[in-house]
Amino acid sequence: DVKVTQSSRYLVKRTGEKVFLECVQDMDHENMFWYRQDPGLGLRLIYFSYDVKMKEKGDIPEGYSVSREKKERFSLILESASTNQTSMYLCASSSVVLAKNIQYFGAGTRLSVL
């Protein structure tokens, strides 16, 4: 089974802190994604990556950056956390060749910024 692991289930941070959310997948998928999920808004794509060291902006990249130094790991960075970034963050991976483009999700990180 595909496993996508997010490093934390719950995080509490203060305004202005730099926050790292880590995501690791174990199936050699080339594509990785970061979404945030908010009530009534569904999933919104923040950033995605098609390969190591590659990144593309999604629909709401402002206030976020990402890093993909290794194929299995995709990090989301909040350079200076703000209260409006309090949300559920979901990481996903996919592969057109290995997984018929199905997205596999981690369990999510619920971030609270105080």
CA gap 93, 5 in Å, rounded:
10
**Which is closer to another protein, CB of 16 or CB of 40?**
40
Q: Please, which residues bridge with residue 105 across strands?
A: 92
DSSP 107: -
Q: Interacting stretch for another protein, rule CB under 8 A, among 12-20, 35-43, 66-74, 79-87?
A: 35-43
Site string for another protein, 48-87 (x = CB under 8 A): --x-------------------------------------
At its nearest, how many Å lie between another protein and the CB of residue 111? 14
Phi and psi angles of residue 104, each rounded to the nearest 5 degrees, phi first: -110, 135
